[in-house]
Amino acid sequence: MKTFPDNFLWGSATSAYQIEGAWQADGKGLHIWDVFSHTPGRTARGDNGDRACDHYNRYPEDIALMAKMGLKAYRFSIAWARIQPDGKGAPNPAGIAFYNKLIDELLANGIEPWITLHHWDLPVALQLEDDGWLSKRTTDYFAAYARICFDCFGDRVKNWITLNESWVIATLGFHEGIFAPGRKSDSEPYLVAHHLILAHAKAVKVYREEFQAAQGGQIGMTNNCDWREPKTDSKADQDAAQRSVEFFLAWFADPIYFGDYPAVMRERVGERLPVFTAEEKVLIKGSSDFFGLNHYNTMYASNVEPGITVDNYVYANAGVFKDQQVALTADPDWELTDMQWPVVPWGLGKLLLWISDRYNNPPIYITENGCATPDIVKEGSVEDPRRISFLNGYLGSVHDAITAGADVRGYFVWSLMDNFEWASGYDKRFGMIHIDFETMERIPKSSASWYAEVIKQNSLEG
């Protein structure tokens, strides 16, 4: 029997565009994913989040299911364009009213709200008028938007996440172009990342100086990272694995904990990597009360010499990836999820210990971890052995990391319900609750009951 700490936090997570729907309701403005998903060829089958799970209208029903599952915490994001339709103007009262009702309903059901201020859905007006995250102006707009949220919701919300997965915004949105806003560049990802880090720090400054003392909450950033295991015991492969994690996670975490980017990035990226001023370093360093981590994947890493391309060298000729000179491969025996991501529980444990060692053992919340599996409804429920096995494995790895000294304080399953999975559309089923999108029926999975039992007993078998 593996027992978690008494105060360990159990929850599940979603994001606004993936579940809310109501994309033009009650004064909401357009954001970049509204536009991107309506652009032909950008998403699977042309799927979009116009309706999604209809959470905007059905949130009481969804919260009732959360309570039935026994969730203690719920991480959700606020749609910036629902609060400020153009990203910088007067607040939209209807948008504020919606999130007030959502927060109050959660608290009435004994569920602690965790708010993410930005989960990829930048108001499109900022992209068109101010170049979005390519412009330093957006960092100030974000801080002003954050102030509105702290002021309107902070009396009841005690847990804030500024940005979700800045790596995805910078790399998939501005390097590969497969996520909104769909740009392809070898240099823009580094500038975008720079501005995202500054936006985070400015929002934290607002919270700490104007709200934290009175409201008594905490604030941090959530970054995503896959684990990189050396392909061999050679020093070259060990260095490649370390380099890959630094280009992935330390890119965003090192400025927060040390005040600047990793030296290996400065060495390899050169002038394409922006420079923080002395004042900005002071602003950024220490700007997180906890370490938010999203984790889904593990790969083997091996060194690739300059100028060499091999078949299994992922993104061999792409800027952000080519800068690393790392080949990524998977063990053919590893089980794959529907996203074709390997199921490797020990990778999460190793990553948690890497974070603990590098950043002086910060409090860590796993803000996302989960898997996509095929869902088949049978007699009104979903038999879900693969997800149960996945959760057993990954939670066991989390427990092992805690035993080894990592200060892990909570775990949020991705996701609460099946939803619009960005460019993958509605085919990828991550939810603890299955949604039949034809009828919008919510069907609890067997794993949901299992997870509720984990929460109830605060322990894990196996």
Considering only residues 89 and 379, tell me which one the structure prediction assigns the higher pLDDT: 89
In this prediction, residues 124-134 reach a mean pLDDT of: 98
Q: What is the pLDDT of residues 241-263, one digit of tens each?
A: 999 999 999 999 999 999 999 99
Q: Are 72 and 111 in contact (CB under 8 A)?
A: yes
Please confirm, yes or no, whether 229 is among the known catalytic residues.
no
In this prediction, residues 208-218 reach a mean pLDDT of: 98
pLDDT for residue 316 = 42
Q: What is the pLDDT of residues 96-122, one digit of tens each?
A: 999 999 999 999 999 999 999 999 999
Burial of 76 (0-12, 13-18, 19+ CB in 10 A): buried
In this prediction, residues 212-235 reach a mean pLDDT of: 98
18 is in an annotated binding site: yes
Q: What is the mean pLDDT of the chain?
A: 95
The sign of the dihedral angle between the CA atoms of 277, 281, 287, 291 is positive
Q: Does residue 1 have a pLDDT over 90?
A: no
Q: What is the CA radius of gyration of the chain?
A: 21
**DSSP-based three-state secondary structure for 19:** helix
CA dist 395 and 345 (Å) reads: 8
* Among candidate residues 194, 196, 210, 223, the one with its CA nearest the CA of residue 290: 223
- Which among 165, 176, 246, 280 is annotated as catalytic? 165
| % of the chain residues with pLDDT over 90 | 89
296 is in an annotated binding site: yes
pLDDT band at 318 (very low <50, low <70, confident <90, very high): low
* Among candidate residues 8, 114, 115, 110, the one with its CA nearest the CA of residue 68: 110
DSSP state of 247: I
164 is in an annotated binding site: yes
Q: Does residue 312 have a pLDDT over 60?
A: no
Query: What angle is formed at CA 149 by the lines to CA 295 and CA 131, rounded to 5 degrees?
Result: 70
pLDDT band at 265 (very low <50, low <70, confident <90, very high): very high
pLDDT for residue 100 = 99
pLDDT for residue 462 = 45
For 294-337, the DSSP string reads E---EEEEEE--TT---TT-TTTT-HHHHTTTEEEE--TTS-B-
pLDDT for residue 309 = 62
Q: Does residue 331 have a pLDDT over 50?
A: yes
Q: What is the pLDDT of residues 41-85, one digit of tens each?
A: 999 999 999 999 999 999 999 999 999 999 999 999 999 999 999
Q: Does residue 460 have a pLDDT over 90?
A: no
Q: What is the pLDDT of residues 18-53, one digit of tens each?
A: 999 999 999 999 999 999 999 999 999 999 999 999
Q: Does residue 308 have a pLDDT over 90?
A: no
**DSSP-based three-state secondary structure for 163:** strand
Phi, psi dihedral angles at 200 (to 5 degrees) = -55, -50
DSSP state of 123: B
Q: Are 80 and 143 in contact (CB under 8 A)?
A: no
325 is in an annotated binding site: no
Place of tokens 């890119």: 251
pLDDT band at 388 (very low <50, low <70, confident <90, very high): very high
CA dist 262 and 2 (Å) reads: 36
Q: Token pair for residue 273?
A: 């990597």
pLDDT for residue 310 = 53
414 is in an annotated binding site: yes
Q: Token pair for residue 3?
A: 């027992």
- Cα Dmax for the chain: 63
List of domains in the chain: 2-227+248-296+331-460 (3.20.20.80)
**DSSP-based three-state secondary structure for 364:** strand
Phi, psi dihedral angles at 356 (to 5 degrees) = -60, -40
Q: Does residue 313 have a pLDDT over 70?
A: no
Place of tokens 């007067």: 90
Please confirm, yes or no, whether 105 is among the known catalytic residues.
no
Burial of 332 (0-12, 13-18, 19+ CB in 10 A): exposed
